[in-house]
Amino acid sequence: MIKFEHTLFALPFALISMMLACRDYPEPGDRWPSLRALVLIVVACYAARSAAMAFNRLADLDQDRENPRTRNRALPAGLLTTRFVWVFTALHVALFFLVAYLLNWLAFVLSPVALAIVLGYSYVKHFSLTTHFVLGLALGIAPVGAWIAVRGTFDILPMILSLAVLLWTAGFDIIYACQDYAFDSAKGVHSLPARYGIRSGLMVSSVLHALAWLALLAFAIAAHGGPLFVTGIALVGGLLAYEHWIVKPNDLARVNVAFFTVNGLVGILLFCCFLADLLIR
């Protein structure tokens, strides 16, 4: 029901933000997070993502039963009961609140807001074209959340990274929505491809990914990123270009490769380059 690959979308960016927040904090010369902070941030990402995915499956159950692409998912296929998924969701919501409480007061106070965003996405697609951007926000708040988890304050630096994640996520979600063009159009599900067509949707996606790449570059400059991190951003640009090269308006056969494989590599590659850059300093 919940794909592990989905966690790889936001988690690497949360870890990058966490490491930046630890730089020279709380003492000058500090570089690495404590084991406690690392574990709690990873668990928070896991809990939020698991709750969001499970809740999304509940919200989309009737739609998934009708859609030929999704009717074999665990819930519509009867492999799991709605009661089980509700309990699973509630437990992960509780875990998220607990971890936020253990981090610091600001993280705990803002945890209902974060949860409202990641759960609320499931219903936006039924009434607004902003659905792709709400999903982008749901993943994009991870860097800000990780920064708050370490420092207990806001800062412009993680917000730049969050903007990059928001634009990147919205872009690949539009690509993913192209495969449901016929179903979404017939059922009135809101998405850019369903409203304006697959070709227009892919054009918007490419623009969003170009803006996301520029936001990553701005983040590297603001964070005083070294050559390895900048190299990682250049490679991410290549991955995004490849993603748009393999998905065409008249050929959507490789959408899953673009969505899961390529985008899964984006976060991992950028995190590895950032970590390597940090290690050689």
The tokens 């708040």 sit on which residue? 141
Determine what percent of the chain is predicted with pLDDT higher than 70. Answer: 99
Q: Which of 90-94, 99-103, 161-165, 223-227 has the lowest mean pLDDT?
A: 223-227
Reply yes or no on domain 4-279 having CATH 1.10.357.140.
yes
Is residue 8 scored above 80 in pLDDT?
no
Structure tokens at 269: 């590659």
Q: How far is CA 31 from CA 23, 143, 277, in A?
A: 5, 17, 12
Q: Give domain limits for the chain.
A: 4-279
At residue 5 the predicted structure's pLDDT band, cuts being 50, 70 and 90, is: low
Give the pLDDT score at 94: 98
Residue 70 has, within 13 A of its CA and on its CB side, a CA count of 20
pLDDT for 24 equals 77
Phi-psi region of 165 (alpha: psi -120 to 50; beta: other; left: phi over 0): alpha
Mean per-residue pLDDT over the chain, rounded:
93
What integer is the mean pLDDT of 232-241? 97
**What are 143-194's pLDDT values in tens digits?**
999 999 999 999 999 999 999 999 999 999 999 999 999 888 888 888 999 9
Average pLDDT over residues 59-66: 92
- The predicted-structure confidence for 247-266, as pLDDT tens digits, reads as follows 999 999 999 888 888 998 99
